[in-house]
Amino acid sequence: MDFKIPDQVKEVVASIDKFIEQEVDPVKKQYQQQLTNDRYFYDENGLYAKETMDAIRKVRKKSAEAGFFHMFADPELGGSGDEFGPLNMVLIHELLYRKHGQDLLTQHIFPIGLFTDGLTPVLKGLKPEVKADILPGVQSGDTWLCFGLSEPDAGSDIWNLKTRAVKDGDHWVLNGTKQWISYAPYSDYAMIFAITDPEMVRQKSGGITCFLVPLDGVTCVSDSAIPLLGNLGGDTGIISLEDARVHEKYIIGDVHQAYKTALDGINLGRLSVAANCVGTAQWALDKAIEYANERKTFGVTIGKHQTIQTMIADCALEIYAAQNMVLHCAWKVENQNKSPVKELSMVKAHATEMTQSVLDKCMQIHGGMGLTNELGLEHVWRWAREQRIPDGTTEMQKRTIAKELLKGGTSFL
């Protein structure tokens, strides 16, 4: 592995920084009240306020026009993924988040998580005629998608799904409920995973199919958000399906074989989340170091106190370990023919746990200032706490790691 940041990555990051300065910052200034105050950020139902959505949509569209929005997507879907492999992807994400932290609009330069929205790899399973109809809107940033897998009683355990799809001529009729679905309240289409062969599911040999379902507000509905971690609203929601008729041409991938479809999207998502965590932790540590060199107690800057030095060193140790894990895993994804299952679980588990640990220490170094909204640390701490659960909890990742090890996959090279 060559750990030198490629010139191509440096150029892209410089271009994104320029894009943020010229295109994103004016939007932030225009919608400053909505973007800096929860009371205006959400409406009375806990959904993004109209002005908040306007700001996000403007950035998405501008990013798509500039070529950033789908720069990591598969060329088959109209992206530039052949130019930016997994290694470059994680480097760009890390560098971007280190400089800009958890700025909401900056996050929307790229699709959230790489698999829940935008030109997700899942869409490669669409029929050609559906691709021709759907993809232009997704490419432009106008069409929003969500990943409808989780349910009230089925998160990591995909075999416990309750949503059913029953064939009726050339249509399938879907009934069920999806929960904890990122961006469900704001999406135009949902990628819904439903049981189509109960017997195959019982045998854990398949029987789950993925459908592209329009959120029509009648048979497929998501009109509320779930408030999370002290926020007045949220971006996750519930999807209710009641006799939703979906033509068979809207099946994504093969009938009964959606488990692999789900993993194709989630794997890239775990890498991008881990890279975001590494960059965000570095952003927080940079703030803590700056503060430690300025803030004085007992006649000296707090950075001269051994306790503060230990906390700063601990943060650096955790970040360095996570950073190298993410880079090595991205290298394996890029250079091996098979998915490094245990390594993807390792980086997701370690990077998300690391980020909250680092954020907690950085808040502590700031003392009372760390608890205020002014510096953004408390907001990012909440984001970091959230990352330990979606896309497979830390505990589920450890279960996957152990299973791979027990099967004999004990090499880490």
> Minimal CA–CA distance to 19: which of 84, 57, 65?
65
Pairing of strands 220-221, 164-168: unpaired
Amino acid at 66: A
pLDDT at position 259 is 80
pLDDT at 253: 93
169 C-beta neighbours (distance < 10 Å), count: 9
Q: How far is 119 from 137, CA to CA, in rounded Å?
A: 10
pLDDT at 202: 94
C-alpha to C-alpha distance for 57 and 30, rounded to whole angstroms: 14
How do residues 308-365 score in pLDDT, each as one tens digit? 999 999 999 999 999 999 999 999 998 887 789 999 999 999 999 999 999 999 999 9
The CATH class for the domain spanning 7-125+132-140 reads mainly alpha
Which residues lie closer than 8 Å to 285 by C-beta, 6 or more apart? 312, 315, 316, 319, 358, 362
Fold assignment, 145-258: Butyryl-CoA Dehydrogenase, subunit A; domain 2 (2.40.110)
Report the distance separating Cα 23 and Cα 361, nearest Å: 34
Residue 241: strand pairing partners: 176, 220
10-residue mean pLDDT series, the chain (413 residues): 90 95 96 92 94 96 94 88 86 93 85 77 93 95 94 85 97 97 95 96 94 97 90 93 98 90 74 94 97 96 97 98 96 87 95 97 97 90 92 92 94 86
CA distance 296 to 367: 12
Residue 321: the pLDDT is: 98
Q: How far apart are the first and last CA of the chain?
A: 11
One DSSP character per residue, 65-116 reads HHT-TTTTS-GGGT--TTTS-HHHHHHHHHHHHHHHTT-HHHHTTS-TTTTT
> For residues 196 and 60, what is the distance between their CA atoms, to the nearest angstrom?
35
Distance (Å, whole) CA 389 – CA 391: 7
The burial class, CB within 10 Å (0-12 / 13-18 / 19+), for 336 is: exposed
Domain chopping of the chain, boundaries:
7-125+132-140, 145-258, 260-406
Q: Which two tokens stand for residue 337?
A: 């023919």
Find the angle CA(17)-CA(22)-CA(24) to the nearest 5 degrees.
80
**DSSP character string of 17-51:** HHHIIIIIHHHHHHTHHHHH-HHHHB-TTSSBPHH
Which residues of 142-188 form beta strands (DSSP E)?
Answer: 145-148, 164-168, 171-182
Q: Identify the CATH homologous superfamily for domain 260-406.
A: Butyryl-CoA Dehydrogenase, subunit A, domain 3 (1.20.140.10)
CA distance 206 to 197: 8
Residue type, 16: I
SS3 209: strand
Tokens coding 117: 């929205």
How many C-beta atoms lie closer than 10 Å to residue 386's C-beta?
Answer: 15
By the 8 A CB rule, do 250 and 130 touch?
Answer: yes
Please tell me the distance from the alpha carbon of residue 339 to that of residue 198, in angstroms, as a whole number.
28
pLDDT value, residue 265 = 65
Residue type, 325: M
Say if CB 139 and CB 92 are below 8 A apart. Answer: no
Tell me 161's DSSP state: -
**193: part of which helix (H) or strand (E)?**
strand 189-195
